């Protein structure tokens, strides 16, 4: 058994990561979505959610930023919850693409399935699967409500971001219709794309992402609201998907260095799951060339290293309260 962490250990690690990495430079805001180019680049926050629902935070953890591709995680869980992991595996898949998140080449190479719900193609396919089929308003309610269940608080679309993204999502339009060509869209393609664009435009805080991550870490039981939001064992399925493709073409490097299943978004957020122990999140807008926040990666990597939370470690830490 590993080290037993106290809450003070976690507080110290969060503070240390904040101080160590706040001066990290490098990367730049996403600018292919005009709204994101204008978000202040120096925003930076870290949040951790513990099993009793306590949130330990440093920096800008109340700022609402675009959830972007981190939203692929809730929708993937929701599809598995509405159908089954096996059906999602058959209809979408769970493989890494090794290619950028918006790759059309990945679809052409693997036309038998869109690879994984955690890249654009699979996420648009997942939005098409959400029930009730053919009913966009009810599908949206299901998606938004599920994200709120994971976060334990309400979320809303950032209207300006949604408009900005809708006006520029030509590549994603091609993806939706290419999937239709391969019979891998399970509802109207334009509707599925609009739901996907809307979910990416939801505003979240680092605190909310930490709670969502913790809800996954505790296999569907939200540590803040104590509510069960998804069926047992889906936590293991989604954590393995996050580990496989969470940083797109940099996923192997990330997992090799940290051993933390996590998912990034071009809004600058990252949410990471330490199964059975805690949820972690960080936010800072400047991104590397694969669309992953540079500073948020540095911060989470520092915390995981300092607290010994690599999931592959035979003596991974646990919390003292859990012992």
Ligand X SMILES: NC(=O)CC[C@H](N)C(=O)O
Residues tagged in the binding site annotation: 69, 120, 165, 172, 196, 248, 266
Residue sitting closest to ligand X (CB): 69
- To the nearest whole angstrom, how small is the minimum distance from the Cβ of residue 288 to ligand X? 12
Identify the CA nearest to 107 among candidates 92, 128, 88: 92
Q: Which residues are annotated as a binding site for substrate?
A: 69, 120, 165, 172, 196, 248, 266
Is residue 254 involved in binding ligand X (CB under 6 A)?
no
First to last CA, the chain: 10
- To the nearest whole angstrom, how small is the minimum distance from the Cβ of residue 163 to ligand X? 13
> 312 is written with which tokens?
């592959």
Is residue 68 involved in binding ligand X (CB under 6 A)?
yes
> Which residue's CB is nearer to ligand X, number 222 or number 264?
264
| Cis bond upstream, residue 64 (ω within 30) | no
> Which residue's CB is nearer to ligand X, number 117 or number 220?
117
- To the nearest whole angstrom, how small is the minimum distance from the Cβ of residue 165 to ligand X? 6
Query: Binding pattern to ligand X, positions 284-313, x when CB under 6 A?
Result: -------x----------------------
- To the nearest whole angstrom, how small is the minimum distance from the Cβ of residue 289 to ligand X? 12
Calpha distance 245→165 (Å, rounded): 23
CB atoms within 10 A of CB 114: 28
Binders of ligand X in range 190-219 (CB under 6 A) = 200
- To the nearest whole angstrom, how small is the minimum distance from the Cβ of residue 199 to ligand X? 9
Is residue 266 involved in binding ligand X (CB under 6 A)?
yes
Q: Which residues fall within 8 angstroms of residue 108, CB to CB, at 6 or more apart?
A: 178
Is residue 51 involved in binding ligand X (CB under 6 A)?
no
Is residue 102 involved in binding ligand X (CB under 6 A)?
yes
Identify the CA nearest to 28 among candidates 18, 20, 40: 40
> 241 is written with which tokens?
């998907």
Calpha distance 201→155 (Å, rounded): 10
Phi, psi dihedral angles at 202 (to 5 degrees): -70, 140
Radius of gyration of the chain measured on its C-alpha atoms: 18
Is residue 265 involved in binding ligand X (CB under 6 A)?
yes
Calpha distance 175→139 (Å, rounded): 20
Which parts of this chain interact with ligand X (CB under 6 A)? Answer: 68-69, 101-102, 120, 165, 172, 200, 265-266, 291
């Amino acid at each position: 058994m590993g080290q037993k962490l106290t809450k003070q250990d976690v507080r110290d690690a969060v503070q240390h990561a904040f101080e160590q990495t706040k001066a990290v430079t490098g990367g730049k805001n996403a600018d292919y979505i005009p709204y994101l180019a204008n978000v202040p680049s120096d925003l930076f926050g870290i949040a951790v959610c513990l099993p009793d629902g306590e949130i330990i935070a440093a920096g800008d953890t109340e700022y609402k930023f675009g959830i972007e591709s981190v939203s692929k995680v809730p929708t993937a869980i929701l599809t598995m919850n509405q159908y089954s992991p096996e059906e999602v595996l058959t209809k979408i898949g769970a493989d890494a693409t090794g290619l950028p998140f918006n790759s059309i080449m990945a679809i052409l190479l693997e036309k038998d399935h869109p690879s994984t719900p955690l890249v654009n193609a699979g996420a648009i396919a997942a939005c098409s699967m959400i029930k009730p089929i053919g009913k966009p308003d009810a599908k949206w309610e299901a998606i938004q409500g599920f994200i709120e269940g994971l976060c334990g608080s309400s979320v809303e679309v950032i209207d300006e971001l949604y408009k900005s993204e809708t006006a520029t999502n030509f590549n994603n339009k091609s993806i939706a219709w290419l999937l239709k060509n391969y019979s891998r869209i399970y509802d109207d393609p334009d509707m599925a794309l609009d739901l996907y664009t809307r979910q990416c435009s939801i505003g979240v805080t680092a605190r909310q992402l930490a709670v969502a991550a913790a809800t996954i870490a505790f296999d569907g039981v939200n540590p803040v609201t104590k509510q069960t939001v998804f069926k047992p064992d889906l936590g293991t399925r989604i954590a393995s998907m996050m580990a496989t493709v969470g940083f797109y073409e940099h996923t192997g490097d990330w997992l090799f260095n940290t051993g933390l299943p996590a998912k990034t978004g071009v809004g600058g957020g990252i949410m990471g799951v330490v199964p059975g122990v805690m949820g972690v999140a960080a936010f800072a807008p400047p991104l590397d060339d694969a669309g992953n926040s540079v500073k948020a990666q540095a911060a989470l990597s520092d915390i995981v290293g300092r607290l010994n939370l690599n999931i592959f470690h035979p003596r991974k830490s646990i919390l003292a309260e859990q012992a």
